[in-house]
Structure 1
């Protein structure tokens, strides 16, 4: 049974369109159950692109088993205006990631951890990351927002990653914003 906020959220990938979050979660569970002794990283990240009449936001969910494959999907949100203020756009990207992360309730996270738990001593692991399409480099216009966005993701219990380690936001999600 999905909660109300999860019902309107839809995801897609190359195989499926209009997936509910429950369906996404079931894909993640079956991906992890296929190799319960894996090294899993569950990653959520958002990127955006300004178009002439709108701004497109893509949030990616990626479950990665190191060296053994990946399953991923995206959620697309369109804002019907050009969001030219960098802080507003970065903040909205972070909000969309926070919204998707919040769908992974404590109960759902426990279900995923329980898959790898019997295999911890064989090296199995599970981590959850939030990828933010910002960087701390001197020339990066987004560097002044790093601390704020990192703190927001830490507050909801995910490990924040920024460029160059934020590949779900800067590469996977970015591909679908065009």
Structure 2
């Protein structure tokens, strides 16, 4: 019964609107099946932008293969107020990323790993990353949240990435927050 929640999410990209999680997962599987020897990274990240009367959050899902390019989509969430508190906004970005990551159950991850598993000795690989739109540089206002948000990603069993390596959040998702 808990799985029903998953299907209420709507994803989109430049060629498709209103995709269900099931459709997104099928796109990712088909992308990986094109090259079972590929080196794949499944990456997630969320960015936000405060507008005049609302805050827009965009979560990106990107499956990338070094030799075959990438397939990607986004999920949009609008909060009907200006979310000015930086910690609240960064924390909510991380929560939205966690929600999407959690849709990839152990069974789903296993399905993806099984695509490349017979070819790991030929160089095939699969990893999952959580991209967080924060940085640890001295001047970065978000550096005080790095340990907290990185720990949250690690608790999901995925590799956390912060700026400048968190491009799914800071570049791909960011493009759609405007």
Q: Can you give the 5+ residue segments of structure 1 that lack an aligned partner in the other structure? A: none
Structure 1 residues 2 and 42, CA gap change in structure 2 (3 angstroms): farther
Contact preservation (8 Å) 1:2, 1:22: no
- Structure 2: give runs of 5+ residues left out of the alignment: none
- Deviating 4+ runs (over 2 angstroms): none
Counterpart of 1:68 in structure 2 is: 68
| Structure 2 length-normalised TM | 0.98
Deviation at 1:67, TM superposition (A): 3.3
Does structure 1 conserve the Cα–Cα contact (< 8 Å) formed by 2:94 and 2:132?
Answer: yes
- In structure 1, the residue corresponding to 2:72 is in which secondary structure? strand
Cross-structure match for 1:40: 40
Using structure 1 for the length normalisation, give the TM-score: 0.98
Q: Report if aligned partners of 2:130, 2:161 keep a CA contact under 8 Å in 1.
A: yes
**Distance (whole Å) between structure 2 residues aligned to residue 95 and residue 81 of structure 1:** 18
Worse-superposed segment, 1-10 or 28-37? 1-10
Q: Pairwise CA RMSD of aligned residues?
A: 1.1
Residue 8 of structure 1 corresponds to 8
User: Following the alignment from structure 1 to structure 2, what is the Cα–Cα distance between the partners of residues 2 and 73?
Assistant: 23
Cα offsets for 1:68-110 (capped at 9, x unmatched): 2100000000000000000000000000000000000000000
